[in-house]
Structure 1
């Protein structure tokens, strides 16, 4: 059966068009594989693996199988680069030896070298396996390992891919890689900005909010937490251990915020500034999310301190202020160096509320505006003047 090259021409045009669009549709691989099959290629399985720039994810793999209704995506942590799954894979063999293409028959003599993935492919009826390695950077040390993708095709036709199929795949592969590269660049930009700015702020920046003063007033629950005795820690701990300690604390506070739908906006030294946007929820629902995050932060800190005690280290503690109000969410700074954050009286008041946690011997304090909208039990500690705030604010402790 010959390949319908008109269908291949249309596929290439479609890949170019998709590449120029933003964002690229998630069905890219499925649509491409189906078109290749419709054109007459004997494709059993297609695999795309690529590296990415992400704080916790080092690489991803997307698989397509003929006659299956889903794409199988797997995310790999950075540490997974040391596992046998990768170290004993044809991809690792190609990367470390800078081999751009492998053409392997699976229906004859045992391939040399032989990789564990071949067992799965052969059990599924694969007879031929072709891999292509693409680099997305200039040639240099570790280029393929750090920035690129591996694209593989398996056939189950008796005798494997014929010469026309091999040439057709070689023709189409660069267009698939180009489309993926563009999709990756968009995703990496989002990942990187999200890691530094928060997901909401990152989306706003990528959507064009990049000028000084760009922003809008939004209703939000505001979170401000601060590490206790941080000055003493800074004086007594060497730099690397201090960073480890700070990250332990941040995993308790900022980690709880993220896991309960909040958005961390800024790390101010050892303080965490975060918000819980309403996002269509009622104020009561938003306050309850923040309250759950606060309880979770305390629970996490207890676990951390249990571990620290076993290591004969001093326990950690933090203070937390919770408040509600309207804040300006946007760009501040100077035109050449911007920060996307929240400003306004409510944000300042939240920091002042947190500063009272030590004086009132309560790790978590909330304003009356927050407490009255939370379904949790809050005990009034009375009204207090706050530094820089013209009015007194009734403060509540979480029961």
Structure 2
């Protein structure tokens, strides 16, 4: 039988210190778990298998699972949300973890004997790996234990864990619970900000752009969409049917833009505003506009499929409009001191909204500005010249055509300089005040 030496407390202190530092640095969840496993193995504890599961708030996953084995590294799994009507995992109900949760206890240790009937089905798999000893634990992040960490330590050493191993593992699992909770909360913040603000805006907020007036001017291809006849659908079909219709509409029309590189900044009732940021040169502007145009064509095709299906189901068609533009926008925080929104503002945003609204007048799904049509290439039909509401200059507007010779060859900018909107001026005012105060403080 292999001698079971006592675990070094000095080395365990090092693992504990690393987890503490990982918590302070907001280290990501996967790095925390992998780093803990590798460092524990380096202390000399004969770990054959480590499993960690964490419940978390995420749009797609209800929990994340991590399994580590020496020489194999870390395997990561996501456990998707269980939809209504789907069966719950029977294996979990027969697992040591469920036993811990149902009995309200924090630790469970079992020797894995090859000659006895296993208490839990998972022990059959552990036998095949040569596991001799198993120590499971649970640590809740709240009083109801709706969120928390579940885990197990396993060894294949003859005789199993000794007392110093168990003492070290119990100590580390407490520190690991703290580090993973910090990582989960940080990841949760990122998930929520990305879900509700969009990827770019979420990153900006996490990076510290949280004060009223924080922002920057960016150039971007702009997309505005709107659903037609939504009021009639809501009044005639009822709330739930309208919500389902709205989700179908967004799935069809917004997905191509999201997958095509656009950042959806906000859903405005039954429409949305999206941007594809680009540099201020012609080349990047062309790339962004072509991405937006390709996504718009895909959105039209998806809406056609949706309406075909709705007709087959004896449901009314969903009308819509898409406005496309390119220009400079103010990107940042505006609002009350204790209630802010992070979005894009400026004359170009107002213009793309007016362009989208013109799709009603010209009875075409896509309306683009002269500048967007030039940058995006392709074939376009000029619909006319419009003085957009809120402006005092003319703008040529276009709709895309298949084939033909309608390519835009030149762009004539507005004759008068565009003035900053109230929102832009507000952001600049607060930004200048913030910079002045910071200079005084330094």
- The answer to whether the superposition gives a TM-score over 0.5 is yes
| Number of the residue aligned with 1:34 | 38
Q: How do 1:164-313 and structure 2 match up within 5 A?
A: 164-278=164-278, 282-313=284-315
Q: Which runs of 5+ in 1 are unaligned?
A: none
The CA deviation at 1:241 is: 1.6
Provide the residue aligned with 2:101 in structure 1: 95
Equivalents in 2 of 1:285, 1:92: separation in Å?
53
**TM superposition shift of 1:87:** 4.2
| Offset from partner CA, 1:222-252 (integer Å, 9 cap, x none) | 1100001112112112112211111111112
1:119 CA drift (Å): 3.5
Tell me if the contact between 1:5 and 1:39 (Cα under 8 Å) persists in the aligned partners: no
4+ runs deviating over 6 angstroms: none
8 Å CA contact 2:234, 2:241 repeated in 1? no
1:72, CA displacement in angstroms? 1.2
Aligned residue for 1:110?
A: 117
SS of residue in 1 equivalent to 2:297: helix
3-state SS, counterpart of residue 212 of structure 2: coil
Q: Which residue of 2 aligns with 1:82?
A: 88
Q: CA contact under 8 A between 2:118 and 2:124: conserved in structure 1? A: no
1:320-331 mapped onto 2 (5 Å cutoff): 320-331=322-333
SS of 2:130 mapped into structure 1: coil
1:47 aligns with 2:54: no
Q: Distance in 1 between matches of 2:297 and 2:323?
A: 13
Cα-to-partner distance string for 1:115-169 (whole Å, 9 max, x where unaligned) = 3x334332222222221111011x2xxx22x211112112121232222211211
Q: 1:122 to 1:380 in 2, by over 3 A?
A: farther
In our comparison, the structure showing a higher alpha carbon Rg is: 2
Q: 2:125 aligns with which of 120, 136, 141?
A: 120
Greater CA drift, 383-392 or 187-196: 383-392
Contact 1:104 / 1:111 at 8 angstroms: preserved in 2?
Answer: no
CA RMSD of aligned residues (A): 2.1
Matches within 5 A, 1:352-367: 352-367=354-369
Q: Aligned partners of 1:85, 1:375: CA distance in 2, in Å?
A: 56
Query: Any conservation in 1 of the 2:226–2:271 contact (CA below 8 Å)?
Result: yes
Q: Conserved in 2, the CA contact under 8 Å of 1:107 and 1:127?
A: yes
**Deviation for aligned residue 1:291:** 1.7
How far residue 298 of structure 1 moved from its aligned partner, in angstroms, is 2.1
TM-score where L is the length of structure 1: 0.92
Distance 2:305 2:102 in 1: 41
Residues 375 and 17 of structure 1: CA distance in aligned 2, closer, same or farther (over 3 Å): same
- State how far apart, in whole Å, the 2-side matches of 1:211 and 1:188 are: 21
Most deviating of 82-91 and 208-217? 82-91
SS of alignment partner, residue 358 of structure 1: helix
Q: Distance in 2 between matches of 1:105 and 1:310?
A: 61
Is residue 60 of structure 1 aligned with residue 64 of structure 2? yes
Using the alignment, how far apart are the partners of 1:91 and 1:371 within structure 2? 59
Assess if the C-alpha contact under 8 Å between 1:366 and 1:397 holds in 2. Answer: yes
